[in-house]
Amino acid sequence: MRTQVGIVGAGPAGLLLSQLLHLQGIDTVILERRSRAYVEGRIRAGVLEQGTVELLDQAQVGQRMHQIGLVHDGIELSFGGRRHRIDFRALTGKAVTVYGQTEVTKDLINARLAAGGKIIFEAEDVSVRDFDGRKPKICFRKDGKAQELACDFIGGCDGFHGVCRVSVPQDALTIYERIYPFAWLGILAETPPVSDELIYCHHERGFALFSMRSPTLSRLYIQCAPDEHLDAWPDERIWDELRLRLGGDAAAALQSAPSLEKSITPMRSFVAQPMRFSRLFLAGDAAHIVPPTGAKGLNLAAADVHVLARALTDFYASGRTALIEAYSDACLKRIWKAQRFSWWMTSILHRFPGRNPFDDQLQLAELDYVTGSTAASTALAENYVGLPLD
């Protein structure tokens, strides 16, 4: 089997890369170790930067997003018993769109299959080889049969636990990492959101986030210890904790409902660089992880793919390699800015173990400054809606 670009991973990064290249007449094959049902059912991020929305439109997969996605012109920060709105539209002229990663994935899979694209689900024992030469290949097993995909380039879009990054010689990688001493316990429930926009809560019991997927479906999070077990958090306890951290009239309006999905997400910052090794490119979670506080994970993956698709398109059109060679540096410049923003949002909203009253007052002072200063509010808004893709 042969293709121009072999892609490992059928998450949003791999699918979007395949779709963008297809629109430029470049052939791809995607290998995914999970089933289609599993990939389409994964509950992940839901806030899209304006640049990501525009990129999905460019990829011709934005129709359903515009029909059912929720455009948000701001967010609210809750602390000290009061809520304060950051008006993105007034401060930057931009907005974000709430549209679940699950839906983005479905749209991209449908588009690729409708165009005759090749996605091999449930590919086993995937490995990437010879990417340091001119004839890279991806080996795998499908239905018990060993197969080989020859290609010109490999897109490593297989996530943090995938095979692509670990296939790179470890002395060629520099790893930067921070593990946070807390996690997020998240639930999805069929209950109306308490606000038209996301509410980020700083509370003495810990952080909470009130988000949504639709006018009738809420996505809610509370800060918890990283070693917590889900069986210690029955639904009733979660709803009680959410009301405590939200407070006020909104807490009274919060309607309990059975959780449709419940999970605990550990918090880390992670960057592996460089992101290119001859003809292997890392993109998305294979190269970087951010705390979800700043809503940057999916958006960073889309930005990586934007840069990579442009570089590969230029190569096939002209034979030039300048954009390919610049891929890693171009992506990392944006990634480190997103890491900074995600760390900052995390640091001012969460309760850190071992904190003291001085630390508490610094957090409150920072939140008061951010919500009381136009310059500080603009900086938050500018980063949240997304820095320019180019």
Among 160, 150, 155, which residue's Cα sits nearest to residue 20? Answer: 155
Among 4, 277, 8, which residue's Cα sits nearest to residue 128? Answer: 8
Q: What is the DSSP letter of 286?
A: G
| Beta-bridge partner residues of 129 | 137
Q: 175: part of which helix (H) or strand (E)?
A: strand 174-189
Helix, coil or strand: residue 306: helix
Catalytic residue among 22, 72, 288, 350: 72
Catalytic residue among 106, 288, 292, 327: 292
Give how far Cα 203 sits from Cα of 182, 244, 255, 321, 360, Å. Answer: 15, 9, 20, 51, 10
The yes-or-no answer on residue 384 being catalytic is yes
The yes-or-no answer on residue 200 being catalytic is yes
Which residues fall within 8 angstroms of residue 241, CB to CB, at 6 or more apart? Answer: 205, 208, 222
Catalytic residue among 180, 200, 221, 327: 200
The yes-or-no answer on residue 292 being catalytic is yes
Q: Residue 151: what residue type?
A: C
Catalytic residue among 296, 306, 327, 350: 296
Distance CA 108, CA 120 (A): 14
Contact indicator for 83, 202 with CB cutoff of 8 Å: no
Both tokens of 1, joined, read 């089997």
Distance CA 102, CA 42 (A): 6
Catalytic residue among 99, 180, 327, 384: 384
Active site residues: 72, 200, 292, 296, 384
